[in-house]
Amino acid sequence: MNDCIYLDNNATTKIDDDVLAAMLPYLSIYYGNPSSMHTFGGQVGRAVRQARSQVASLLGAEDSEIIFTSCGTEGDNAAILAALKAQPKRKHIITTEVEHPAILNLCRKLERDGYTVTYLSVNEQGQLDLDELEASLTGNTAVVSVMYANNETGVIFPIEQIGQIVKEYGALFHVDAVQAVGKIPLDMKTSTIDMLTLSGHKIHAPKGIGALYVRKGVRFRPLLVGGHQERGRRGGTENVAGIVALGEAAKLAEQHLAGVAWEQQLRDKLERGILSSIPNTVINGDPVNRLPNTTNIGFKYIEGEAILLSLDQYDICASSGSACTSGSLEPSHVLRALGLPYSVLHGSIRFSLSRYTTEAEIDRVLEVLPSIINRLRELSPFNSDDADWLKEQEEAVLAR
Amino acid sequence: MWDYTDKVMEHFHNPRNQGKITEKQEGEEIVTGEVGSIACGDALKLHLKIDEDTQTIKDATFQTFGCASAIASSSALTELLKGRNVEDALKLTNKEIAESLGGLPEEKMHCSVMGQEALEAAIYSYKGIPLDTHEEDEGNLICRCFGVSDTKIRRIIRENNLNTAEQVTNYVKAGGGCSSCLPDIDDLIYEVTLEKEKSVEVAAAIATASQPAPSPTAKSLTNLQKITLIQRVIDEEIRPILAEDGGDMELFDVEGDIVKVVLKGACSGCASSTETLKLAIEATLKDRVLPSLIVESV
């Protein structure tokens, strides 16, 4: 199973060997508490400080602006709730229809608690309408939370344009950058972002560690109240090994970003190969403003889970926004927000690459995929012969 | 990742009987049952070739849009159908389809339900009964996202002994979209449970109310005497108990040892309570009239 062709890096990534080597001593030799007054604990405290600098450097931030968290979900929750606590008179939140559940479900809960939430729509390219954003902003808006890049389509939002508009209304600006960090360069020094969430396991660190950037001067209230750790902004003894791992992963990501856009070359090769060898296939989302490692491809007339399980036979790992893979019975909220036709929606597959992806792996996918798609299409009652009937079905659904 | 059985994966990778049926001989009819839609995420076209003389399914093929378990369920269904008599095939339940695959994950049971529905649609089409007059569509729409009626939900609750709304979602998708109908599904489960308890109670009451009486022997009864005695036991001992719960019954006919009855009022329209009641009535008649009697509800 270790030899699988792993093209599901937006779900999680493999731990880099250097990251593992950096963290292991903190699970064995250096078990001290970084808050302790003795030398044994003190050396652990130094490792945490170094990791904080490494993460800050990746973001172009200052060390004191980094709070270590347990995951992306914690970062998102902490940011939104802090923004609301810091501005108790403002009761309005703006976010988008395509956010991660960590934001969407929190917002739904806040609606039940009396807050008003605006969910900005996206067009068929997965892009926001900035006029809609501007029309939604009021003096009552506490926070605007928008993801940097979408986990399913890879579509990148115009974050700085959004930030400029948000600042005019005095609201705080939070960005869930879990998918963007390590994949595209970010610089908080020149940014309008007030708070930014990142997660370790998306950048080759282990699961269970993340960070929240909070711009200096932004009023912050902790989600976890406890000891003085993280300067009182996040109680709880530090996950030292995880923090060291995140620091090392941030350092490696920064080095990688300075080099060649390897994933993008391979991603483009994969896309071109698929589109030229398999008919009735489309790229979902804005093809230009997109993460370099991600492609979301709709294979018409067939269902995603069947494609994934067929790929799995060849030890190829990808993912799908189809209903059948989620257990929720409805296809991905992101692809639905794009308004894709159902014939595309259910057969959409996401391939997400990493710096470890090789050309041989992409070639292998291109070798086996056409016959997989062809076999499933032969099984399907929907095919080009039925195009009219299919169109009728889709129109009937839209009319409902 | 779903926990599929090896059999599901085997049928998924090597499906049997895929495609359409194009050729038929004289005296054969080809019919198709269609369920699902592209919007739902799964759809099945089941094609049957039926020998009109023997009413036997000579061939069954499928075309499926859906996940691995939908494809496997369709494939298994076609295997189950070949060689079956049409009436016999109509009795096939979704449970049998799932069992033939060594079971399906609970969240995927709706794939087997889709198979059963396509089968029903195909046979109804063969018999010339339009599907939209089928009782299910007369029910109230409960789940708007997936278009599921209360009749269908009640049936699936009874046939599979479901206890939670989550299970209903797994079997027929109802409640799996916006989830606003989950409280309604809870109510339906409660109602079906009540119906079941009621029918068990009534059956028990019939059994205890039967007073021991000298059992006449078969030889001593003429056909007329037998029918008269059956009618009397029904009128004097069974109907009063049914009436207490708003139910009723009527003797329809007696053919040899087969006693045909019509269940009415609160007794009708519920598959599991019908079965329970039928057995209770049969036990009483066996005891009071003739041990060889068999009750059929018509």
Share of chain B above pLDDT 70, in %: 91
- Nearest partner of A184 among A107, A294, A39, judged by Cα: A294
- Verify whether the Cβ–Cβ distance A382 to B177 is below 8 Å: no
CA distance readout (Å), A391 to A87, A113, A382, A388, B236: 50, 42, 10, 5, 62
Residue pLDDT tens, chain A, 400 long: 458 999 999 999 999 999 999 999 999 999 999 999 999 999 999 999 999 999 999 999 999 999 999 999 999 999 999 999 999 999 999 999 999 999 999 999 999 999 999 999 999 999 999 999 999 999 999 999 999 999 999 999 999 999 999 999 999 999 999 999 999 999 999 999 999 999 999 999 999 999 999 999 999 999 999 999 999 999 999 999 999 999 999 999 999 998 878 899 999 999 999 999 999 999 999 999 999 999 999 999 999 999 999 999 999 999 997 766 655 667 889 999 999 988 898 999 999 999 999 999 999 999 999 999 999 999 998 876 666 666 666 666 566 5
- Residue with the two structure tokens 């078990």: A31
- Which helix (H) or strand (E) is B275 found in, with range? helix B271-288
For every residue of A21-90, DSSP letters joined together read HHHGGGGTT----TT-SSHHHHHHHHHHHHHHHHHHHHHT--GGGEEEESSHHHHHHHHHHHHHHH-TT-
- Nearest partner of A251 among A19, A47, A9, A17, judged by Cα: A19
**A239 CB neighbour count, 10 Å cutoff:** 21
pLDDT computed for residue B198 by the predictor: 82
- Which helix (H) or strand (E) is B238 found in, with range? none
A377 contact B CB<8A: no
Where is average pLDDT lowest: B34-38, B73-77, B128-132, B192-196?
Answer: B128-132
Chain B residues with CB inside 8 Å of A327's CB?
Answer: 107
Q: How far is residue A253 CA from its own chain's centroid?
A: 16
- Which helix (H) or strand (E) is A190 found in, with range? none
Residue A80 CB-half CA count within 13 A: 28
Extract the tokens encoding A347.
């057969």
DSSP secondary structure letter of residue A296: E
For residue A364, give how far its alpha carbon lies from the nearest alpha carbon of chain B (Å): 20
> Would you say residue B137 has pLDDT above 70?
no
Chain B residues with CB inside 8 Å of A304's CB?
Answer: 67
Chain B residues with CB inside 8 Å of A305's CB?
Answer: 67-68
Interface test with B, best of A8, A305, A319 (most B CBs within 10 A): A305
> What are A299-308's pLDDT values in tens digits?
999 999 999 9
Alpha-carbon dihedral of residues A6, A10, A12, A14, nearest 10 degrees? 50
For residue B64, give how far its alpha carbon lies from the nearest alpha carbon of chain A (Å): 5
> Would you say residue B245 has pLDDT above 90?
no
**A139 CB neighbour count, 10 Å cutoff:** 10
Query: What's the whole-number mean pLDDT along residues B215-230?
Result: 73
pLDDT computed for residue B152 by the predictor: 87
B45 contact A CB<8A: yes
> Would you say residue B72 has pLDDT above 50?
yes
Alpha-carbon dihedral of residues A104, A99, B173, B137, nearest 10 degrees? 90
User: What domains appear along chain B, each with residue ranges and CATH number?
Assistant: 1-133 (3.90.1010.10), 135-208 (1.10.10.1100), 212-297 (3.30.300.130)
Give A166's contacts (C-beta < 8 A, 6+ positions apart).
Answer: A133, A137, A144, A172, A173, A192
Chain B CA closest to residue A397: B39
Where is average pLDDT lowest: A95-104, A337-346, B15-24, B218-227?
Answer: B218-227
User: In chain B, where do the E strands start and end?
Assistant: 28-37, 42-51, 56-65, 141-143, 148-149, 247-255, 258-265, 294-297
- Nearest partner of A199 among A73, A324, A304, A285, judged by Cα: A73
State the pLDDT confidence band at B135, using cuts at 50, 70 and 90.
very low
Minimum-distance CB partner of A329 among B45, B65, B173: B173
Q: How far is residue A134 CA from its own chain's centroid?
A: 25
A331 contact B CB<8A: yes
In contact, A216 and A64? CB cutoff 8 Å: yes
- Which helix (H) or strand (E) is A397 found in, with range? helix A387-399
Give B154's contacts (C-beta < 8 A, 6+ positions apart).
Answer: B139, B188, B191, B192, B270
In contact, B258 and B203? CB cutoff 8 Å: no
pLDDT computed for residue B172 by the predictor: 87
- Verify whether the Cβ–Cβ distance A382 to B65 is below 8 Å: yes
- Which helix (H) or strand (E) is A348 found in, with range? strand A348-352
Extract the tokens encoding A85.
């606590």
pLDDT computed for residue A211 by the predictor: 98
Number of residues in chain B: 298
In contact, B151 and B174? CB cutoff 8 Å: no
- Verify whether the Cβ–Cβ distance B18 to A329 is below 8 Å: no
pLDDT computed for residue B2 by the predictor: 83
State the pLDDT confidence band at B199, using cuts at 50, 70 and 90.
confident
A4 contact B CB<8A: no
- A339 phi and psi angles, rounded to 5 deg: 70, 30
Extract the tokens encoding B115.
């198979």
- Verify whether the Cβ–Cβ distance A303 to B41 is below 8 Å: yes
> What are B275-298's pLDDT values in tens digits?
777 888 888 888 888 888 888 887
pLDDT computed for residue A387 by the predictor: 64
Q: How far is residue A304 CA from its own chain's centroid?
A: 21
- A73 phi and psi angles, rounded to 5 deg: -60, -40
pLDDT computed for residue B241 by the predictor: 82
- Which helix (H) or strand (E) is B98 found in, with range? helix B94-100
**Burial group, residue A37, by CB count within 10 angstroms (0-12, 13-18, 19+):** exposed
Give B255's contacts (C-beta < 8 A, 6+ positions apart).
Answer: none
> What are B31-60's pLDDT values in tens digits?
999 988 777 788 999 999 999 999 999 999
Q: For residues A172 and A162, what is the distance between their CA atoms, to the nearest angstrom?
A: 12
Q: For residues A396 and B168, what is the distance between their CA atoms, to the nearest angstrom?
A: 26
Size of interface A-B (CB pairs under 8 A): 81
Chain B residues with CB inside 8 Å of A306's CB?
Answer: 12, 66-68, 71
Mean pLDDT of chain B: 85
- Verify whether the Cβ–Cβ distance A397 to B39 is below 8 Å: yes
Chain B CA closest to residue A341: B39
Q: For residues A318 and B4, what is the distance between their CA atoms, to the nearest angstrom?
A: 18
Residue B43 CB-half CA count within 13 A: 24
- Residue with the two structure tokens 């800050």: A56
Instruction: Indicate the pairing of strand A141-147 with strand A92-96.
Output: parallel
In contact, B111 and B70? CB cutoff 8 Å: yes
**B214 CB neighbour count, 10 Å cutoff:** 5
In contact, B263 and B234? CB cutoff 8 Å: no
**B74 CB neighbour count, 10 Å cutoff:** 31
A324 is catalytic: yes
pLDDT computed for residue B197 by the predictor: 84
Q: For residues B270 and B154, what is the distance between their CA atoms, to the nearest angstrom?
A: 9
pTM of the model: 0.79
B21 contact A CB<8A: no
- Verify whether the Cβ–Cβ distance B18 to A393 is below 8 Å: no
**Burial group, residue A329, by CB count within 10 angstroms (0-12, 13-18, 19+):** buried
pLDDT computed for residue B114 by the predictor: 92
pLDDT computed for residue A64 by the predictor: 97
Q: For residues A333 and A151, what is the distance between their CA atoms, to the nearest angstrom?
A: 12
Give B202's contacts (C-beta < 8 A, 6+ positions apart).
Answer: B241, B242, B244, B245, B247, B277, B280
A217 contact B CB<8A: no
State the pLDDT confidence band at B134, using cuts at 50, 70 and 90.
very low
For residue A335, give how far its alpha carbon lies from the nearest alpha carbon of chain B (Å): 13
> What are A262-315's pLDDT values in tens digits?
899 999 999 999 999 999 999 999 999 999 999 999 999 999 999 999 999 999
B34 or B206: which carries more pLDDT confidence?
Answer: B34
